[in-house]
Chains A and B, each alone.
Chain A
């Protein structure tokens, strides 16, 4: 009878690795069949004797129902394409948009049926189809400007809303380091494509830097917080403070960019709210420290 040299547990006679730690079982070649103990164990009922049963899925992982629904969908799509083709092509009308819409609709449905039923896979499938469809439409219609912007927006949407679900929670910082430059790149692209004076460098970039700086300070504060879990109220108020500060800064910079004058427009109340929240949060933090100092059991040690 084999034993795991790492865990010290007895393993089934036919085991090749330990199921607990994955250590290989090394036995002389004839030892599996030798010995009365081994023979008795072989006669007994194994844990789950049937080999992994097929669950009715084919080699693409589709069960019978989904396969049937896919076949029906493709069949209907083929009929629709045939009808459209016979009616539009001879008449000389634009056949590309209606027919590619049918193809795109079919593919949306096919993604729903063929992909694993999870948000990240279905969202990825749909975004890819939209990307392809809009790209082809742009080539067909000849207008690349809006196509580039729309495809970039789709790519940005995928990075912001879907990518985090492909990575484990502990890799959130990596996700943020990808998302932030992508947002900046998208904004610069929009700025580059739009007519008029450039607003990216004088307005968008400083606001983005301010947001990153503020959230870094908040993250640091959460990291060094020593009185149990960081209070949710503090987090919400800090978030509100950062939002007010970012919108207010954006507005001041936009006014400066448009008129060349440093002045508050409609963002005055936001600046007041941001200042009040910052003062309040500072006071709460200070009072927490003072209370902690006078109630701590270990301050005399």
Chain B
């Protein structure tokens, strides 16, 4: 099945969330994310390539390339052969579109791991995970004859439905709603040393049961609790680096909200908005319990249907504005970079994205040892946090441009350890580079 059957015009406009990603893409703003599954068995690359071809036939929306038009970026169907790449040392780097044949994703394979990195203009974490589940499921079916059909994933034999690549933002746009107000600029981590685009990872594995118990005792969900712990870690770091309280800035976190759960769409494209939660350290000291409560209530207010529609009004309204529509892309690019900073990255100190517990059938789970999720950091917010749950574990993956500073990660994980959680750490950081800052 080809996507050109569904797009007679020959091009697909980017969805509303995706518009901001291509013009702001840069070495230190890769706008990529990665999902991966570690298997218990070695991966056969030939079978994986076959599975990839079959999955892409079922998901034609992913067989697209990005182009820059006179007014907007757009997608067109792409028929280049898809390659499987060997695993790299540093995840979530800038996607080399020439190397992928124009595709906006890259499939990696190591001895026992299948991973996919996506450019965010193509899809969001949920869409990416559907792709990965289909790919791993089909691979296991080809390799071991396992029936690995996930409940929330389309069947390979089913016909493609146009809903799978619709842009639901356009249908939810209400011009009568007032736009969401802008927020204050937040604290950003700074570094005396030059940044490195080789993204450093620190991954913590925590028992899901224990973490859920702790979050429940604090009256919050796992996302809210982890967000509160991360806010508290950044708050303590700021208190250490900015001794005078009145000069301290807002510590905010951007939490992507999966709108499929709120509005019920089935699209594989971006259908996410960002809820910003945070505290004002200049107002006084906060305990973790207070932060948990603040995050819980702020998130409740921001994930409310009307608040989300108001945020959509601002985003889609911008896209539909006559001024922006007829401004050439060459002018839009720097304008979007400014907008992305002032209405996006500048308003929060980091990003925390939780994909939730990954649900796969037992026949497939028998082969899968671990799932991972990583987000690319940005130049302003040099640390990102991605959370994913699988079986009895929750993986909290920090990605960072700071090669020799893991202070936020240290404060975050040691706080969880102090609260009685068992945390297992893994990293791709070079031995001996961490801790110099503190020493």
Interface residues, chain A, CB within 8 Å of chain B?
4, 7-12, 16-23, 44-53, 168-169, 228
Contacts and interface: CB of A to CB of B under 8 A. Distances in A.
Contacts of B406: 19-21
A22 B425 contact: no
A41 B370 CA distance: 13
User: What 7 A-B pairs have minimum CB-CB distances, sorted nearest first?
Assistant: A22-B435, A19-B427, A20-B410, A8-B417, A48-B428, A47-B426, A10-B424
Contact of B192 (A4, A10, A17, A168): A168
Contacts of B111: 45, 49
B32 interface: no
Contact of B427 (A45, A47, A53, A168): A47
Given A9-B424, A12-B425, A46-B426, A21 B110 contact: no
B202 interface: yes
B369 interface: yes
Nearest to B424: A10
Given A18-B434, A20-B406, A44-B369, 15 more contacts: A8-B418, A8-B423, A10-B423, A17-B431, A18-B435, A19-B202, A19-B427, A19-B429, A19-B434, A20-B413, A46-B426, A47-B428, A48-B88, A49-B111, A52-B89
B426 A9 contact: no
B427 A10 contact: no
A50 B417 contact: no
A37 to B, nearest CB: 11
B191 to A, nearest CB: 9
A7 B431 contact: no
A8 to B, nearest CB: 4
Nearest to A117: B27
Contacts of B426: 12, 46-47
5 contacts: A7-B417, A9-B413, A9-B414, A9-B417, A17-B432
Given A9-B417, A19-B425, A48 B431 contact: no
A45 B435 contact: no
B414 A20 contact: yes
A51 B414 CA distance: 28
A133 B438 CA distance: 44
A168 B192 CA distance: 6
A53 B434 CA distance: 20
Interface in B77-109: 86-91
Interface residues of B, number: 44
A48 B417 contact: no
Contacts of A11: 424-425
A22 B436 contact: yes
B203 interface: yes
A291 B235 CA distance: 33
A54 to B, nearest CB: 10
A8 B431 CA distance: 18
B434 A20 contact: yes
A298 to B, nearest CB: 15
A45 B414 contact: no
B299 to A, nearest CB: 27
A228 B247 CA distance: 8
B369 A45 contact: yes
Contact of A48 (B90, B112, B410, B418): B90
A45 B38 contact: yes
Contacts of B198: 52
Contacts of A18: 425, 434-435
Contacts of A23: 435
Contacts of B89: 48, 50-53
A262 B58 CA distance: 89
A48 B87 contact: yes
With a 10 A CB-CB cut-off, give which of A8, A17, A19, A51 has the most chain B CB atoms: A19
B346 to A, nearest CB: 16
B25 interface: no
A7 B204 CA distance: 12
Contacts of B432: 17, 22
Contacts of A48: 87-91, 201, 428
B434 A45 contact: no
B432 to A, nearest CB: 6
A50 B108 CA distance: 12
Nearest to B201: A47
A53 B38 contact: no
B240 to A, nearest CB: 14
Contacts of A20: 202, 406, 409-410, 413-414, 425, 434
A246 B370 CA distance: 68
Contact of A44 (B38, B91, B436): B38
B422 interface: yes
Nearest to A228: B246
B113 interface: yes
B420 to A, nearest CB: 10
A16 B433 CA distance: 12
B410 A7 contact: yes
With a 10 A CB-CB cut-off, give which of B87, B110, B426 has the most chain A CB atoms: B426
A44 B409 CA distance: 24
B439 interface: yes
A49 B428 CA distance: 9
A22 B38 contact: no
A186 B189 CA distance: 38
A4 B423 CA distance: 11
Contacts of A17: 431-432, 434-435
B372 to A, nearest CB: 9
Contact of B110 (A4, A7, A8, A45): A45
A10 B425 contact: yes
A50 B423 contact: no
A7 B113 CA distance: 29
